[in-house]
Amino acid sequence: MNVTVMQLTARNLLGRRRAMFLVILLLLLLGLAMLTRWASDASPNASSVLANGFALGTVLPLMGLLVATGVIGAEIDDGSIVYMLAKPLRRREILFSKLAVGFAAVFIFAVLPTMAAVVIAGDEGGQLMLAYGVSAVLAAIAYTAIFVTLGIVTRNAVVFGLLYALLWETVLGGYVPGIRAVSVRQWALSVAERMLGSQANGWAVTSEVGMTTGLVMLGLVTVAAVYLGVRRLRTLTLNSIE
């Protein structure tokens, strides 16, 4: 980890218009949480549907993508990454610094709002908030690693990332049940399901996989993504073709 790299990354990420989108998404989630509370009398069930479908299913992957393209995609695109890569720093160190900033941003702009949304929309003794919080943290780690690496691998990172995050998990998952088991969201949800125990079913917190499988897969995917990212960053070629 390198403090200067982290500072530069954070400034890149939060400056300009990107921060605006992050804040809009966050406010939208909280606004919806209030609407849900008003419409469903603070039932944990509706709150869980909101957190599962909108917060974990849409906001978190979108936020991951916005942040990932912010921490490394933009720099690769305008070519300024060469100045950072030319410094006597390990590529690993650069990537880890960027990942740390990216995760922090996703945590602040997506994970905390998810927990807040659950509390606002309706909760029972903070159980639901805690369960979704842990799930969101796990999913945030995996999404950050995957999307940052994707940003290094391809210039179309946003489109491919979205195809995976939304089309793969929601549309294809609806038709082919097996696909549902191969998804960051389901793996992360498995932990929430276990944490809620017997109440999970009643609150519609169900996952396609067990907790052990979920955690192992999350870990595997995250490590693989980081490893691939470091490798690609070592031999990064810049070209100007759009």
Give the residues lining the site for other proteins (CB under 8 A): 16-18, 21, 24-25, 28, 32, 35-36, 38-40, 50, 54, 58, 62, 65-66, 69, 73-74, 77-78, 155-159, 162-163, 166-167, 170-171, 241-242
Task: Output the smallest distance, CB 8 to other proteins, in A.
Answer: 16
Task: Output the smallest distance, CB 50 to other proteins, in A.
Answer: 7
C-alpha distances in angstroms, 154 versus 19, 102, 109, 144, 149?
Answer: 23, 18, 25, 15, 9
User: Toward other proteins, which CB reaches closer, 147 or 218?
Assistant: 147
User: Toward other proteins, which CB reaches closer, 95 or 158?
Assistant: 158
User: Toward other proteins, which CB reaches closer, 112 or 166?
Assistant: 166
Give dist(CA 161, CA 157) in Å, integer.
6
- Residue 14's nearest CA partner among 152, 85, 139, 106 is 106
User: Toward other proteins, which CB reaches closer, 17 or 198?
Assistant: 17
Contact at 8 Å (CB) between 116 and 123?
no
User: Toward other proteins, which CB reaches closer, 92 or 155?
Assistant: 155
Task: Output the smallest distance, CB 20 to other proteins, in A.
Answer: 9
One-letter amino acid of 156 = N
Task: Output the smallest distance, CB 127 to other proteins, in A.
Answer: 23
Task: Output the smallest distance, CB 166 to other proteins, in A.
Answer: 6
User: Toward other proteins, which CB reaches closer, 32 or 228?
Assistant: 32
Give dist(CA 172, CA 182) in Å, integer.
11
DSSP string, 90-147: -HHHHHHHHHHHHHHHHIIIIIHHHHHHHHHH--STTHHHHHHHHHHHHHHHHHHHHH
Tokens of residue 142, six digits: 């995996």
C-alpha distances in angstroms, 171 versus 9, 17, 63?
Answer: 34, 30, 20
Task: Output the smallest distance, CB 23 to other proteins, in A.
Answer: 12
Task: Output the smallest distance, CB 21 to other proteins, in A.
Answer: 6
User: Toward other proteins, which CB reaches closer, 62 or 189?
Assistant: 62
